[in-house]
Amino acid sequence: VCMNLYVMNLVKGHLIYYPCPLNINFLWNYGFLLGIVFFIQILTGVLLATCYTPEVSYAYYSIQHILRELWSGWCFRYLHSTGASFVFILTYLHILRGLNYSFSYLPLSWYSGLVIFLIFIVTAFMGYVLPWGQMSFWGATVITNLLYFIPGLINWVCGGFIINDPTLKRFFVLHFIFPFVALAIVFIHIFFLHIHGSTNPLGYDTPLKIPFYPNLLTLDIKGFNYVLVIFLFQSLFGIAPLSHPDNAIPVNRYQTPQHIVPEWYFLSFYAIIKTIPNKTSGLLVMLAALQVLFLLAEQRNLTSIILFKFLFGPRDYSLSTIWFICTFYALMCIGYQLPQNVYIIYGRIFIILFFVCILFTLVQFKRTNY
């Protein structure tokens, strides 16, 4: 009885009576929408895992069996593959909103959210290998070869000198486990958020609060309806080509594709690796681009600085949105192109602009406390 009362009070406190600012808008829907899509990913992934065979001789044909022989197998397969793209779309939008409104007010939520983002990246990469198509194999070969600078690390990750049967088994197990690890961190992320309370477009603290249910829940459900329609249209009809067609071809170890590219949501990171000639340097720069996001929360009250407010401040949302969208989209376009000199030069320019802008902003200030 005590446990039931505790659970009921917990649900009421965090889902029903949780106080939210009166003036928050649709930008605060992305976290809720991301949670729903992530749950769909876990559900469809568990169902697909029951019919998948993690062996190099059968992996590709087990996917074809799911698509062609199982009842509604094609539906769950495409829901899962499309869901990966939607997870990253909503994650990028959620991070973009956090850069404008939340990171300096909610550092613990910011840290836990970035950890979830890193788990998403690793999980999606391993999931991209599991269909065992031509692009899956060669993409995994390119990424795992970046680990050569640590002796023995490639053998430990791949279970050998090349991508082979042990690699596929390990990636399958980790791809199955990591989403549940991310789900546990999601609860920590929400816990840290509810300790301090949600932010709003005008700042952090406001006396105008309303309960989450039913006021803001209806706003979340309205946004979910829009996302659900787009999600189903893309999954069932394939409006936009989100995957490379070469990944529908069985693996051929003796024929390298003309252009090896990852999924679209990794193209910006891939552009960093591609435009830097040294593999180790490219990997370190890519990791530094992620580390910069962690460093942002190390500052306090940065929005009071004129320069930072000009770039990322909550009252200049349109400017910061344009800046990050343009940088991300430019690197994404460069990552999709062949490694020609003109694209390599442009890629280096955008990488330098990204780091110079953020690092120049960070070094201006002393760290202050609340």
Q: What is the DSSP string of 48-108?
A: HHTT---STTTHHHHHHHHHHTSTTHHHHHHHHHHHHHHHHHHHHHHHHHHHHHTTTT-HH
> Which comes out higher in pLDDT, residue 315 or 13?
13
**Mean per-residue pLDDT over the chain, rounded:** 83
181: part of which helix (H) or strand (E)? Answer: helix 165-196
Of 35, 354, 356, the C-alpha closest to 193 is 35
Banded pLDDT at 6 (limits 50, 70, 90): low
pLDDT of residue 161: 84
Banded pLDDT at 169 (limits 50, 70, 90): very high
Does 74 score more than 70 pLDDT? yes
Of 112, 88, 92, the C-alpha closest to 187 is 112
Distance CA 228, CA 232 (A): 6
pLDDT of residue 4: 66
Does 49 score more than 90 pLDDT? yes
Among 108-112, 174-178, 217-221, 260-264, the range with the most confident prediction by mean pLDDT is: 174-178
User: Mean per-residue pLDDT for 149-161?
Assistant: 85
User: Mean per-residue pLDDT for 316-335?
Assistant: 73
Give CATH 1.20.810.10 domain extents, the chain.
15-260
Banded pLDDT at 204 (limits 50, 70, 90): low
Q: Indicate the pTM of the whole model.
A: 0.89
Distance CA 246, CA 271 (A): 20
- Cα 157–chain centre separation: 22
If one looks up domain 15-260 in CATH, what number appears? 1.20.810.10
